[in-house]
Chains A and B, each alone.
Chain A
């Protein structure tokens, strides 16, 4: 079944460590997104990619980097994790060829804790 998957689902790490979160999708969508979700703040966009050669910063990109390895894969890295990066992270995809061009489909999330 077409899906958006994220690994790992849970991760506990220490301040200063480098962390990579991975996202894969079988929907065939060109567009992929990384969000973080914090209580009371909702979903905030970190980075987005409209195709393999296109990477764009979102509203809170500081402290994060991304890599779009293929149409189906989009990774988020925290170069040196800090405690205020503790959050729920979601990957999402969208398909610009459909009438609902901005509708996004989300993965199950990664719960990251930085000690």
Chain B
């Protein structure tokens, strides 16, 4: 079993929809949680970063962490075609430990 599980999709939604992307993990030591967005043939870019449990909002994006369930989510409101990309979750125990990545969910927002 992988340490981080992420549904690969593809997920196809109409423009304006609310998108929910999720990851589950097994390592209870993880404390730092990140979401990266990767456009085709580009490098991953950091989208959101959260520490421990709770919510964090940045514009149309909300990151949510539930450590008791070992479950993290990224919500995208009013989705746009420009949001079409692969979204990678990543997490670490902190203190200079390496990141563990999910395999990514491919999202397509259609007009």
Q: Do A and B bind each other?
A: yes
Assuming the contacts A101-B95, A102-B32, A102-B96, asked whether A109 and B43 have C-beta atoms less than 8 A apart, the reply is yes
Let me know if A74 is at the binding interface, CB within 8 A: no
Docked CA distance A104–B43 (Å)? 11
Q: How many A-B residue pairs have CB under 8 A?
A: 55
Do A90 and B103 touch across chains, with their CB atoms under 8 A apart?
A: no
Let me know if A96 is at the binding interface, CB within 8 A: yes
Which residues of A, 41-61, contact B by the 8 Å Cβ criterion?
41-43, 45, 48, 50, 58
- Enumerate chain B residues within 8 angstroms of A104, measured Cβ to Cβ: 46, 90, 99
Do A100 and B42 touch across chains, with their CB atoms under 8 A apart?
A: no
Chain A residue total in the interface (Cβ 8 A): 24
Do B98 and A106 touch across chains, with their CB atoms under 8 A apart?
A: no
Docked CA distance A103–B43 (Å)? 14
Interface size class of B (residues with CB under 8 A): 20 to 34
- Enumerate chain A residues within 8 angstroms of B102, measured Cβ to Cβ: 42
Do B99 and A41 touch across chains, with their CB atoms under 8 A apart?
A: no
Q: Which residue of B lies closest to A96 (CB)?
A: B96
Do B94 and A42 touch across chains, with their CB atoms under 8 A apart?
A: no
- Enumerate chain B residues within 8 angstroms of A109, measured Cβ to Cβ: 41-43
- Enumerate chain B residues within 8 angstroms of A107, measured Cβ to Cβ: 43
Let me know if B81 is at the binding interface, CB within 8 A: no
Do B43 and A40 touch across chains, with their CB atoms under 8 A apart?
A: no
Do A40 and B8 touch across chains, with their CB atoms under 8 A apart?
A: yes
Do B42 and A108 touch across chains, with their CB atoms under 8 A apart?
A: yes
- Enumerate chain A residues within 8 angstroms of B99, measured Cβ to Cβ: 102, 104
Closest 10 CB pairs of A and B: A42-B103, A106-B43, A102-B92, A43-B101, A108-B43, A106-B44, A109-B43, A42-B101, A100-B49, A102-B32
